[in-house]
Amino acid sequence: MSIFDSLHINSSGLSLERLKLDVISTNIANVNTTRTEEGGPYLKKTVSFEESMKRTNTPGLNASTEKSFGVRPTAIDSDETAVIREYDPTHIDADENGYVTKPNVNMADEMVDMMLTMRTYEANATALAASKDMLKRALQISAD
């Protein structure tokens, strides 16, 4: 593994956390959306991701190995469970019985997810800065 691999791994983590923040922001923005283009209320979205693997050839050996190369998003899923039905016959989207189907977005959960995502983003940014500092010091040593 080279120093450049660590830069790529950290940048993939930063990109993933940014995507997660975008999705959380969308969830928060649609906390009261009872009607979407697809019909029905807004459904909470979550980001699925997995480890990104890279096949590398080992110098001196005729074997190739797979090494971790960060993370990559695989999907943005809609959570179709736990949709909330609330009695409000005056609401424009109420059914014939007076019930409104509301989004399954919980503001407290979204805020906790946002704080966790921001802390993870900060950790990736710190690790990226450390990798850049090590690379800079290595270049200074080689120049001396």
pLDDT of residue 47: 96
Contact indicator for 48, 77 with CB cutoff of 8 Å: yes
Q: Which two tokens stand for residue 18?
A: 């940014």
pLDDT of residue 81: 81
Strands 99-102, 84-87: pairing kind: antiparallel
Map tokens 């693997």 to a residue.
53
pLDDT of residue 1: 57
pLDDT of residue 71: 92
- For residue 76, what are the β-bridge partners? 47
pLDDT of residue 58: 64
Contact indicator for 42, 36 with CB cutoff of 8 Å: yes
Residues of the chain below pLDDT 50: none
Map tokens 């090590």 to a residue.
134
pLDDT of residue 121: 96
Look up the pTM and report it.
0.83
